[in-house]
Amino acid sequence: MGNLLPKLPLAQWVEAFVDYLEATLGFVFDGITVAIGAVVNSISFVLNIFPSWLLIILIALLAWRRKNVGLAIFTFIGLFLIDNLGYWTNTIETLSLVLTAALISVVIGVPVGIWCSRKDIVQNIVTPCLDFMQTMPAFVYLIPSIFFFGLGKVPGVIASVIFAMPPTIRLTNLAIRQVPAELVEAADAFGSTPLQKLWKVQLPIAKTTIMAGINQSIMLALSMVVIASMIGAKGLGADVYRAVTQIKIGVGFEAGIAIVILAIVLDRLTQNKKKRNN
């Protein structure tokens, strides 16, 4: 059947569209590159102000404050191991990329999710886009990122945002839609404005589910940042990629352990449920 019909020049259409965007919106992409680069560098600068041992202690205290002593001990030992193995600088680079991607995902994703919860037509338009974003192979995101933003940190962050944003949008939409109608009606009866109803009723009740979406986005951002090492994003992913290409099993194992520790710490710290051991 495919031989009976001429092949659609889909690849040429996509390339022509990308060329058009680059020609007409190049200044926008340059501005985005500067802004995201500044955010990544600022986060990295702030984290590097502290000596590694002090930052490890501060993060362990944060783990104890948010969760429990067990997580604090794991965080201290795990981060100390990363520092001992010599991967602390690259861990900070990876953390800076992940935090930047997560921040952008939240800043864009939460408002879009709120908008979807208010308008069914918006949800019907956004949902297929989210399906496309989540089913597209992760490596494909690297291609347009390279073309529009070059090599390095910024395209890695952009690809991570596209890959990681859907859970935040979906769960924000779901959480607000699941707020009991009786509470919304009560807020309306007291004369609350839509903004007051959102901030004082809907968001507080939906917070747990929204945080679950943000947690998933952070984990996806971490996985994508590791893949983005292929296009020049620094960090632990670069160590893993170099170990794979040079067949250095030991180095790859060390870098992989560092990524696992960082992922566990980020996952536990961003989970909403709080437990304390007295």
Q: What is the pLDDT of residues 89-129, one digit of tens each?
A: 889 988 998 999 999 999 999 999 999 988 889 889 988 98
Question: Are the C-beta atoms of 108 and 165 separated by less than 8 Å?
Answer: yes
Whether pLDDT at 136 is above 60: yes
Give the C-alpha separation, 64 to 277, whole Å. Answer: 9
Q: Which residue from 225, 241, 261 is spatially nearest to 43, judged by alpha carbons?
A: 225
173 lies in some domain: yes
The answer, yes or no, to whether residue 77 has pLDDT greater than 90, is yes
Query: Is the predicted pLDDT of residue 257 greater than 60, yes or no?
Result: yes
CATH number for the domain harbouring residue 262: 1.10.3720.10
- Write a three-state SS string for the chain: CCCCCCCCCHHHHHHHHHHHHHHHHHHHHHHHHHHHHHHHHHHHHHHHHCCHHHHHHHHHHHHHHHCCHHHHHHHHHHHHHHHHHCCHHHHHHHHHHHHHHHHHHHHHHHHHHHHHHHCHHHHHHHHHHHHHHHHCCHHHHHHHHHHHHCCCHHHHHHHHHHHHHHHHHHHHHHHHHCCCHHHHHHHHHCCCCHHHHHHHHHHHHHHHHHHHHHHHHHHHHHHHHHHHHHHCCCCHHHHHHHHHHCCCHHHHHHHHHHHHHHHHHHHHHHCCCCCCCC
CA dist 217 and 214 (Å) reads 5
Kindly report the average pLDDT of the chain as a whole number: 84
Does 7 map to a domain? no
In a domain, 277, yes or no: no
How many domains, the chain? 1
In a domain, 120, yes or no: yes
Residue 152 belongs to a domain:
yes
Is there a domain that residue 5 lies in? no
For residue range 30-41, list pLDDT tens digits in order: 888 888 888 888
Structural domain containing residue 193? 13-270
The answer as to whether 275 is a domain residue is no
> Using one digit for the tens of pLDDT, what is the confidence trace for 176-211?
888 888 888 787 777 777 787 888 888 888 888 888
